[in-house]
């Protein structure tokens, strides 16, 4: 179990704030005609200006992808669920949805957050999907209280997603976050039945990245030959949202609040 000192908590607060500000600024650059390569360059500039370093650029996957991740953030458009690679060929158009997953290190600590944005006017079904992802995240965050289990977060997310009729991606999960981007424990967005003594209990001072990924259709995924880009198998839209939060005795502190 990772216990954090006050020094660590303040470090996490600052990193969260820098990550949230960068994501907020980047979101304002999203409009039709902009490529994900443009967004990537602006991400690099924003991070440099803030004195932060991308946590994704050069990241080597434990999943066996041979090439390290080449983006300063992940840019996932429409049916891309996560880890979309920035490209000059991916140019946003009216009606698209794009998730920007921005994780950075600031003074040794990691802030990790994701938003799914609408490019201009989107279809009602895209709109509803994004709303549901945000509601699932809110609902999961509400359960991140000391004494609860990780499973309570998972259940809250899964319940919102399924009630709205959406799929929940199983291959990618939330995680502890601190001096490293990915720390113990994993936070699935679905419940895995297990014995009580196998459950992970939450305690004050834990910092977690909670990140539901919802699909409009089936939750099955496929990976592009680039070794990173993950899409829905059925081509349906996906939405991904994420906050870094601090567990306390009461409602958690959202460290990446925008
Ligand atoms: N922010 C993402 C996460 O929550 C970062 C992973 S993307 C990778 O896990 F390219 F770095 F793998
Ligand atoms: Co994350």
pTM score: 0.97
Residue 104 CA to ligand 1 center (angstroms) comes to: 10
Domain residue extents for the chain: 6-254
For residue range 75-132, what is the model confidence (pLDDT) as tens digits? Answer: 999 999 999 999 999 999 999 999 999 999 999 999 999 999 999 999 999 999 999 9
Assess whether the C-beta atom of 74 lies below 6 angstroms from ligand 1. Answer: yes
Q: Is the pLDDT of residue 1 over 60?
A: no
Residue 143 CA to ligand 1 center (angstroms) comes to: 23
* Predicted local distance difference test score (pLDDT) of residue 219: 98
What is the DSSP secondary-structure string of 207-243? EEEE--EEESS---EEE-TTS--EEETT---EEE-BE
What is the DSSP secondary-structure string of 141-157? HHT-BTTSBHHHHHHHH
Residue 172 CA to ligand 1 center (angstroms) comes to: 10
Assess whether the C-beta atom of 83 lies below 6 angstroms from ligand 1. Answer: yes
CATH architecture of 6-254: Alpha-Beta Complex (3.90)
Ligand 1 pocket test, pick from 83, 85, 174, 208 with the greatest ligand atom count within 8 Å of Cβ, gives: 83
Task: Specify the ligand 1 atom closest to the Cα of 182.
Answer: 9
- Compute CA 47 distance to the chain's CA centroid, rounded to the nearest angstrom: 18
The 10 Å Cβ neighbour count of residue 120 is: 12
Task: Specify the ligand 1 atom closest to the Cα of 102.
Answer: 1
Q: Given pLDDT bands bounded at 50, 70 and 90, which one contains residue 196?
A: confident
């Amino acid at each position: 179990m990772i216990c954090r000192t006050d020094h660590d908590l303040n470090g996490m607060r600052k990193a969260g704030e820098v990550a949230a500000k960068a994501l907020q600024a980047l979101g304002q650059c999203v409009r039709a005609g902009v490529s994900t390569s443009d967004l990537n360059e602006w991400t690099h500039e924003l991070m440099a200006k803030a004195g932060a370093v991308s946590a994704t650029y050069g990241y080597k996957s434990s999943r066996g992808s041979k090439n390290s991740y080449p983006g300063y953030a992940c840019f996932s458009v429409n049916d891309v669920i996560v880890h979309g690679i920035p490209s000059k060929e991916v140019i946003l158009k009216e009606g698209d949805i794009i998730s920007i997953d921005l994780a950075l290190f600031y003074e040794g600590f990691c802030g990790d957050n994701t938003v799914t944005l609408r490019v201009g006017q989107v279809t009602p079904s895209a709109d509803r999907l994004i709303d549901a992802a945000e509601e699932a995240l809110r609902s999961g965050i509400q359960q991140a209280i000391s004494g609860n289990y990780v499973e309570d977060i998972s259940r809250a997310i899964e319940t919102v997603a399924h009630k709205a009729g959406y799929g929940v991606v199983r291959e990618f999960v939330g995680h502890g976050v601190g001096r490293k981007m990915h720390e113990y424990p994993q936070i699935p967005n679905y419940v895995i039945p297990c014995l009580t003594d196998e459950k992970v209990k939450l305690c004050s001072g834990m910092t977690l990245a909670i990140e539901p990924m919802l699909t409009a259709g089936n939750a099955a995924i496929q990976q592009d030959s680039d070794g990173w880009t993950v899409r829905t198998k059925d081509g349906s839209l996906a939405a991904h949202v994420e906050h870094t939060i601090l567990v306390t005795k009461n409602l958690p502190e959202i460290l990446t609040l925008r």
